[in-house]
Amino acid sequence: MGGFTFDLKACARPNIIALQPYRCARDDYKDDGSNTLLDANENSYGPSLSLDLSTNRDIGSSTLKLAGLNRYPDPHQIELKQLLCDLRQPADSPATLKPENLFVGVGSDEAIDGLIRCFCIPGVDKILVCPPTYGMYTVAAQVNDVEVVKVPLEVEGESPSFDIQPVKIQELLKDDPRIKLVYICSPGNPTGKLVDPARLKALLEYSWNGVVVLDEAYIDFAGHGKTLAHWVNSYPNLVVMQTLSKAFGMAGIRLGFAFAPSEIARLLNNLKAPYNVSSLTSALAIQAVSESGLEVMGSHRELIVRQRERLIQELPKIQRIGRFLGGYDANFLLVEMLDAPRNLGGRPDNKTAKMVYSQLAETKGIVVRYRGNELGCTGCLRITVGTEQETTKLLTKLEEVFHEIP
Ligand SMILES: Cc1ncc(COP(=O)(O)O)c(C=O)c1O
């Protein structure tokens, strides 16, 4: 449990605390088919689609109602939120996660931005990030004219742990009350490594008036039961973000969500655009997190984990591949490119990594991510784990590239 009293009213922006959220007539009178809806200036003749709208697209337990696309979507998404709670509630504990603990938005990128707008006064407040980490925290801060303070992950030593450093973070928080949010990525991007829950706990038990945001975009690749989403009911200043873009393979529908103590979730829901999640997105998201969708996700995840294992076995057979840095908890690997073969003392090298990156893209048709300039990632490429065929192609082409470059 959080050992201090978090004062949300003193932490969130006063204008957001005072905000009266947009209300629509359908908050009072439901769209259940019994009413003639002339309240929202929609088009009663229907969507301008030259498709047969009378047949709904059957997508299993939910239905894509094309004929209903002339209506605004549900601003509250309670059915989807309940399914997300069921998904993340640990089986062996009482159901504490409720729809009122959730914000759903246009990818977790909307939650990243919404949290900054909720807590940080532009030009005054700050966020803290732990590089190497996901770049959107800084982009969202800059868009909102919010300064970014950095406490790196642990990158010292021959074999860096890439874990968070709670004592160093606390030292900064103690000296700077303008820091309102700490963004932590677990599993990390680009490190692929889960944060140690004990270190996170140490940070959550530190008394300060700000919010810890845990980004669990890749959590389903880390193994069963690793999510800490349910901790939001134990710590008043914890928000846990997740997404359907990764393990669920639904990046195209743009659906992300954040679990939060209900008072924080209420502020995020108050400030969002009322119709941020489209009807098509919510129908597909409901299907993805229903029983049959979860089965598909589970089998895809298994296939990805198998290819991840294969890459861990096979990549080191190429002499100019160095170490894997970070961990194996996500659907990508962070791997060093060496300036000479391992047995000749090759060292991780950015020039080599850049060459491999561009040769792979320009002559082999494979795009990976160069991460050599990130803290502690010298010479590294971040490689997403693909299908079996994609992995075979990657391994073959990577070997070819090393024969072609100096
Ligand atoms: C760590 C992390 N968080 C969030 C996101 C964005 O997710 P979404 O597609 O839900 O906006 C990404 C995407 O790459 C990511 O790597």
Instruction: From 289, 306, 336, give the residue that closes a domain.
Output: 289
Domain of 220, CATH number, reads 3.40.640.10
- For ligand 1, say whether the CB of 114 is within 6 Å of any of its atoms: no
* Nearest protein CA to atom 12 of ligand 1, as residue: 217
Domain tally, the chain? 2
Q: Does one domain contain both 88 and 181?
A: yes
- For ligand 1, say whether the CB of 243 is within 6 Å of any of its atoms: yes
Q: How far is the CA of 209 from the centre of ligand 1 (A)?
A: 26
pLDDT at 3 over 80: no
What is the position in ligand 1's atom list of the atom closest to the CA of 243? 10
Secondary structure of residue 366 in the 3-state scheme: coil
Instruction: From 263, 289, 315, give the residue that closes a domain.
Output: 289
Q: Does one domain contain both 165 and 283?
A: yes
pLDDT at 49 over 90: no
Which structural domain range is residue 318 located in? 297-404
Q: How far is the CA of 277 from the centre of ligand 1 (A)?
A: 17
Selected residue with higher pLDDT from 323 and 54: 323
Query: Which segment of 45-49, 236-240, 318-322, 364-368 scores lowest on mean pLDDT?
Result: 45-49
Select from 104, 113, 134 the residue to mutate for testing ligand 1; criterion: most ligand atoms less than 8 Å from CB.
134
CB-based contact 130:152 (threshold 8 Å): yes
Q: Does one domain contain both 121 and 235?
A: yes
Q: Residue 1: what pLDDT?
A: 57
Q: Does one domain contain both 263 and 314?
A: no
Q: Report DSSP state, residue 73.
A: P
The residue length of the chain stands at: 406
Q: How far is the CA of 312 from the centre of ligand 1 (A)?
A: 24
Q: How far is the CA of 287 from the centre of ligand 1 (A)?
A: 21
- Residue 118 dihedral angles phi and psi, to the nearest 5°: -75, -35
Assigned domain for 33 exists? no
* Nearest protein CA to atom 8 of ligand 1, as residue: 107
Q: Does one domain contain both 169 and 264?
A: yes
Q: Does one domain contain both 219 and 340?
A: no
For the chain, percent of residues with pLDDT exceeding 90: 88
Select from 129, 185, 246 the residue to mutate for testing ligand 1; criterion: most ligand atoms less than 8 Å from CB.
246
Q: Does one domain contain both 277 and 312?
A: no
Q: Does one domain contain both 85 and 132?
A: yes
Assigned domain for 42 exists? no
Within 13 A of 296's CA, how many CA atoms are on the CB side?
A: 10
- For ligand 1, say whether the CB of 219 is within 6 Å of any of its atoms: no
- For ligand 1, say whether the CB of 242 is within 6 Å of any of its atoms: no
Domain of 325, CATH number, reads 3.90.1150.10
CA distances from 234 to 5, 167, 214, 231, 239 (A): 12, 21, 14, 5, 11
Helix axes 197-204, 166-175, angle to 10 degrees: 20
Assigned domain for 59 exists? no
- For ligand 1, say whether the CB of 256 is within 6 Å of any of its atoms: yes
Over residues 134-173, the pLDDT tens digits come to 999 999 999 999 999 999 999 998 889 999 999 999 999 9
- For ligand 1, say whether the CB of 190 is within 6 Å of any of its atoms: no
- For ligand 1, say whether the CB of 133 is within 6 Å of any of its atoms: no
* Separation of alpha carbons 369 and 331, rounded Å: 13
Q: Does one domain contain both 220 and 133?
A: yes
Over residues 102-145, the pLDDT tens digits come to 999 999 999 999 999 999 999 999 999 999 999 999 999 999 99
* Separation of alpha carbons 112 and 96, rounded Å: 24
- For ligand 1, say whether the CB of 216 is within 6 Å of any of its atoms: no
Q: How far is the CA of 42 from the centre of ligand 1 (A)?
A: 33
Q: Does one domain contain both 113 and 240?
A: yes
Q: Residue 58: what pLDDT?
A: 59
Assigned domain for 64 exists? no
CA distances from 26 to 37, 61, 74, 281 (A): 9, 25, 9, 20
Over residues 200-243, the pLDDT tens digits come to 999 999 999 999 999 999 999 999 999 999 999 999 999 999 99
Assigned domain for 1 exists? no
pLDDT at 63 over 70: no
Assigned domain for 254 exists? yes
In sequence order, the 6+-apart residues with CB closer than 8 A to the CB of 403 are none
Identify which of 136, 147, 140, 151 has the alpha carbon closest to the alpha carbon of residue 179.
147
Average pLDDT over residues 164-186: 98
Q: Does one domain contain both 82 and 169?
A: yes
Q: How far is the CA of 135 from the centre of ligand 1 (A)?
A: 9
Select from 104, 106, 108 the residue to mutate for testing ligand 1; criterion: most ligand atoms less than 8 Å from CB.
108
- For ligand 1, say whether the CB of 217 is within 6 Å of any of its atoms: yes
Over residues 371-406, the pLDDT tens digits come to 999 999 999 999 999 999 999 999 999 999 999 999
Assigned domain for 390 exists? yes
Encoding tokens for residue 207?
A: 């008394």
Q: Residue 55: what pLDDT?
A: 61
pLDDT at 51 over 80: no
Assigned domain for 109 exists? yes
Q: How far is the CA of 217 from the centre of ligand 1 (A)?
A: 6
- For ligand 1, say whether the CB of 107 is within 6 Å of any of its atoms: yes
User: Where residue 61 falls among pLDDT bands split at 50, 70, 90?
Assistant: very low
- For ligand 1, say whether the CB of 188 is within 6 Å of any of its atoms: no
Instruction: From 265, 289, 313, give the residue that closes a domain.
Output: 289
* Separation of alpha carbons 331 and 301, rounded Å: 9
Over residues 260-297, the pLDDT tens digits come to 999 999 999 999 999 999 999 999 999 999 999 999 99
* Nearest protein CA to atom 7 of ligand 1, as residue: 108
Q: Does one domain contain both 231 and 313?
A: no
Query: Which segment of 92-96, 115-119, 337-341 scores lowest on mean pLDDT?
Result: 92-96
Cβ neighbourhood burial of 24 (10 Å; 0-12, 13-18, 19+): middle
What is the position in ligand 1's atom list of the atom closest to the CA of 109? 11
Q: Residue 57: what pLDDT?
A: 59
